[in-house]
Amino acid sequence: MTARRIGAEASGIVEAVLEGGPATLPAELRSHRVSPVESKIKVRHYGGYEHFERDPGGAVDGTPAVFRWTGRTRIAE
């Protein structure tokens, strides 16, 4: 039964929240739905990308996965 549960979770979608980064990042961009194995999220914002990585602590059952801000890159012109 454990193998079935792991397989179901791996194919599903989980809620994720983004923490840190610029104060100008709108609240609606701080909530995402991602694969449970996703380790990074990149959000386009003001001529660049804000980068977030999954908190290694992991999500507790029923709570969103937390991704913390790691930096920003500019879009090449």
Which pTM was predicted? 0.79
Taking the domains of the chain in order of start, what are their residue ranges?
A: 2-74
C-alpha span between 32 and 23 (Å, rounded): 18
Q: 5 vs 8, 10, 41, 62, CA distance in Å?
A: 5, 9, 25, 15
pLDDT mean values, one per 10 residues, the chain (77 residues): 44 89 95 93 96 84 90 90
pLDDT of residue 8: 44
pLDDT of residue 59: 66
